[in-house]
């Protein structure tokens, strides 16, 4: 199979990485397709099964682990498991496309270590932890308890930024989007 590239976007929850990833997916010249992860949490808001995530039970998730079908998986938050299936990468590469991932920092670094040549790992940095909190509250899709859980994790995640190939500061969304586009364009063009 012809291998495409792997574009990993990782960041603490609320950093704006999902918005950046969606923007990149709209740029046809980048030839990207979104890697749909498996998740054991409930769908939020407008999320659609098979589009945003494959929402599966913990029982099903365990079967995938046992069968070694994940490229990487992680208990991102207590009792919330997320994972990237090998079949997902193969499905997208078989179409001649590049794969873009919106995954947590540990998963992102694991993909990089498994596919060092093919991967560009980008860390999206929020202006501050206070700003993250504000954005998560504004999104109002989660309880205060869940928001606090995400903030606690953000401190640990921010410390991993230097391990990524590139860091984008998301202080101004339009600037961050343009910077992300340039990085991906350059990487897939092989410069």
- Residues near ligand 5GP (CB under 6 A): 13, 37, 41, 72, 74, 76, 82-84, 102-104, 106-107
CB of 64 to ligand 5GP, least distance (A): 11
Which CB atom, from 26 or from 42, has the smaller least distance to ligand 5GP?
Answer: 42
Residue nearest ligand 5GP, CB atom distance: 107
Measured CA to CA, the distance from residue 161 to residue 11 in angstroms comes to 8
Which CB atom, from 50 or from 190, has the smaller least distance to ligand 5GP?
Answer: 50
Rounded-to-10 torsion of CA 59, 60, 65, 71: -140
CB of 11 to ligand 5GP, least distance (A): 7
Three-state secondary structure string covering 7-34: EEEECCCCCCHHHHHHHHHCCHHHCEEE
Q: 11 labelled as ligand-binding?
A: yes
Which CB atom, from 23 or from 41, has the smaller least distance to ligand 5GP?
Answer: 41
- What is the 8-class DSSP label of residue 94? H
**Residue written as token pair 């929020």:** 126
Mark the binding-site residues for ATP, compressed into ranges.
Answer: 11-18
């Amino acid at each position: 199979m012809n291998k495409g590239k792997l574009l990993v976007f990782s960041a603490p929850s609320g950093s704006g990485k999902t918005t950046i990833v969606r923007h990149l997916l709209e740029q046809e010249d980048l030839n990207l397709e979104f890697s749909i992860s498996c998740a054991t949490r409930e769908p939020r808001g407008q999320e659609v099964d098979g589009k945003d995530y494959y929402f599966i039970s913990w029982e099903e998730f365990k079967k995938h682990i046992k069968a070694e079908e994940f490229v990487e998986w992680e208990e991102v938050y207590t009792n919330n498991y997320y994972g990237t299936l090998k079949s997902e990468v193969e499905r997208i590469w078989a179409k001649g496309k590049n794969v873009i991932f919106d995954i947590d920092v540990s998963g992102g670094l694991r993909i990089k270590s498994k596919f060092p040549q093919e991967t560009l790992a980008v860390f999206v940095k929020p202006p501050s932890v206070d700003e993250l909190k504000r954005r998560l509250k504004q999104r109002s899709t989660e309880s205060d308890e869940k928001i606090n859980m995400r903030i606690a994790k953000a401190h640990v995640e921010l410390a991993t930024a230097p391990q990524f190939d590139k860091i984008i500061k998301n202080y101004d969304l339009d600037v961050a989007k343009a910077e992300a586009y340039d990085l991906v364009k350059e990487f897939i063009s092989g410069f």
